[in-house]
Amino acid sequence: MADRLTMQDPRTQYPQPPFPQQPQEAPGIASKMDPKPDHGETSYKGSGKLGGRKALITGGDSGIGRAAAIAYAREGADVAIVYLAAEEADAKEVVALIEAEGRKALALPGDVKDEAFCRAAVQQTVDAFGGLDVLVVNAGRQQTRPTVADISTDDFDQTMKTNVYALHWFVQAAVPHLPVGAAVITTASVQGYDPSDNLLDYATTKAAIVAYTKGLAKQLIEKGIRANVVAPGPFWTVLQPSGGQPQEMVETFGSKSHFGRPGQPVEIAPVYVLLASQEGSYITGEVYGVTGGAGVA
């Protein structure tokens, strides 16, 4: 993996396309990707910015959620991760990485489309850690569909429930437990501002996440709690080859960014750390774009 601390050309710091076609059944396993994503397993160095915090991250087994989980543990937090049972292999790796930092890890397999599971996951985290300080709602469903006619009601329902309903359920369950100084962080996308024609349902949910979080921030600041959005551009995660993009687009994924490559999950982890930490004390209701130069509006 690239040395993240040495000054260098960011365009060539990480792998550039073309990449091999690599179809996987959703939700996919990160360890099967070629090239393997850098989630920070060896490259992220912590400095105690989240010492003693208790965090819950949905979609924490792979991709951006995995990078945030690793970074949070290296910054001193105990971390619970939510993931689908099919992602157990990836989740075990993350748990081991968290525990290697001397932090508590909590594995919470289940389906975020299930309201009861979402609410139970929050309570289990509070019970295991003795509280909850940071909620990262990151789990997402993205399945490419060429035309509006190809998006079935079931497709639309699954995407809405995974990306939007679950956000509401986790937030509603978590807020009563969040202390003054806590943080809520959601994951939207550049798709919420500049939607691709093959991702209509996904893009719709990402725009909704922005609106929900900005409104939530106005409520929560009255409790001394901050809420912010991270809006990624093209990141090399298992979401892409497992149905998120057509395989021919996987081959060239990220090539249209200003960097000529996709971002690696570890490159966005510091934003999640900032928004969770006290260093972000004057940041709420904001959308942080990490898009490879595309912007978020």
The residues near 62 (Cβ < 8 Å, ≥ 6 apart) are 28, 29, 30, 37, 39, 83, 87, 90, 237, 238
CA–CA gap between residue 85 and residue 115 (Å, rounded): 16
Residue 12 lies in a domain: no
CB 54 within 8 Å of CB 125: yes
Q: Please report the pLDDT score of residue 2 as a whole number.
A: 56
Residue 172 lies in a domain: yes
Residues 154-172, mean pLDDT to the nearest whole number: 98
CA–CA gap between residue 62 and residue 28 (Å, rounded): 9
Residue 31 lies in a domain: no
The residues near 15 (Cβ < 8 Å, ≥ 6 apart) are 35, 236, 261
- Residues linked to residue 54 through DSSP beta bridges, in sequence order: 78
Q: Please report the pLDDT score of residue 114 as a whole number.
A: 98
Residue 38 lies in a domain: no
CA–CA gap between residue 112 and residue 290 (Å, rounded): 25
* pLDDT tens figures, 68-127: 999 999 999 999 999 999 999 999 999 999 999 999 999 999 999 999 999 999 999 999
Confidence of residue 297 (pLDDT cuts 50, 70, 90): low
Q: Please report the pLDDT score of residue 296 as a whole number.
A: 76
230 pLDDT above the threshold of 80: yes
Residues 151-162, mean pLDDT to the nearest whole number: 97
3-class secondary structure, 52: coil
CA–CA gap between residue 79 and residue 95 (Å, rounded): 9
Residues 117-143, mean pLDDT to the nearest whole number: 98
CA–CA gap between residue 166 and residue 114 (Å, rounded): 8
Residue 73 lies in a domain: yes
Domain CATH number, residue 277: 3.40.50.720
Residue 294 lies in a domain: no
16 pLDDT above the threshold of 80: yes
Residue 15 lies in a domain: no
CA–CA gap between residue 48 and residue 257 (Å, rounded): 33
Q: Please report the pLDDT score of residue 277 as a whole number.
A: 98
Q: Please report the pLDDT score of residue 5 as a whole number.
A: 85
Instruction: Please give the backbone phi and psi of residue 204, each rounded to the nearest 5 degrees, phi first.
Output: -60, -45
Residues 137-163, mean pLDDT to the nearest whole number: 97
Confidence of residue 295 (pLDDT cuts 50, 70, 90): confident
Residue 21 lies in a domain: no
Closest by CA position to 59, among listed 74, 69, 73, 71: 69
Q: Would you please indicate which residues are annotated as catalytic (active-site) residues?
A: 202
270 pLDDT above the threshold of 60: yes
Range(s) of the domain holding residue 213? 46-281
CA–CA gap between residue 67 and residue 140 (Å, rounded): 15
Residues 261-282, mean pLDDT to the nearest whole number: 98
If one counts the domains in the chain, the total is 1
Q: Please report the pLDDT score of residue 27 as a whole number.
A: 93
